[in-house]
A and B are shown apart, each in its own frame.
Chain A
């Protein structure tokens, strides 16, 4: 008896798939995602991130500090000093 229940339960679990909860859903879902609004919705979903990246870029360039270029003579002198070590 106990073994029968266990076997039935296991068989039921194995037989049940997510799709069997709603066998007609999958094609409906795919059709509803890729309908005539798809590209507009994609653009609307992506747009906040584009603006956020723009803001991040502006703040990055506002806070970074590029060191002034080292004159050629001085660079050569420093390299010579490092080589002699």
Chain B
């Protein structure tokens, strides 16, 4: 019998994908490009106080992504200690891509469309940017799913761990 329990590695990859995907959003779109902040729509960052309030909510958002990332590191550490988990790059990378994609889709639908907290790039083309963000997320999920599916063939646990014996 070989290592077949992909769940723990998928869990780690998904959590890290969600967390790091959140950091891409927060660092790239909130801070470097400054296209939007957490509450750009109800509280446009037009003065110092509004910018600082938006920074507070951006910080809270980053704190949550940090917690999810930490949970992902913990899950990866645990998965690496188990002999029934295949140490598959394809499974892990696929789960990470899917996690990032799920972040974009869920955050995009809720924060951009339903709650109207902010848009990817406010302005005349904001709907196009929002849809692009969702499409990018869907592509990441598809790529992650395909990679993870290919990873089903990987059955070798992390080196140094004994493969569990079959139940006769």
Contacts and interface: CB of A to CB of B under 8 A. Distances in A.
A66 B5 contact: yes
Nearest to B165: A78
Interface string B54-80: 001100110010001000000000000
B18 A64 contact: no
Contacts of A52: 18, 68, 102-103, 106
Interface of B is mostly: helix
Interface residues of A, number: 33
A60 interface: yes
Contacts of A71: 167
B49 to A, nearest CB: 5
A78 to B, nearest CB: 8
Interface in A22-44: 22, 25, 28-29, 32-33, 37, 41-42, 44
B64 A64 contact: no
Contacts of A45: 38, 57, 60-61, 64
A60 to B, nearest CB: 4
Interface string A50-82: 011101100111011111101100100010000
Contacts of A37: 42
A47 interface: yes
Interface of A: 22, 25, 28-29, 32-33, 37, 41-42, 44-49, 51-53, 55-56, 59-61, 63-68, 70-71, 74, 78
Interface of B: 4-8, 10-11, 14-15, 18, 38-39, 42-43, 48-50, 52-53, 56-57, 60-61, 64, 68, 84, 98-99, 102-103, 106-107, 110-111, 115, 117, 164-165, 167-168
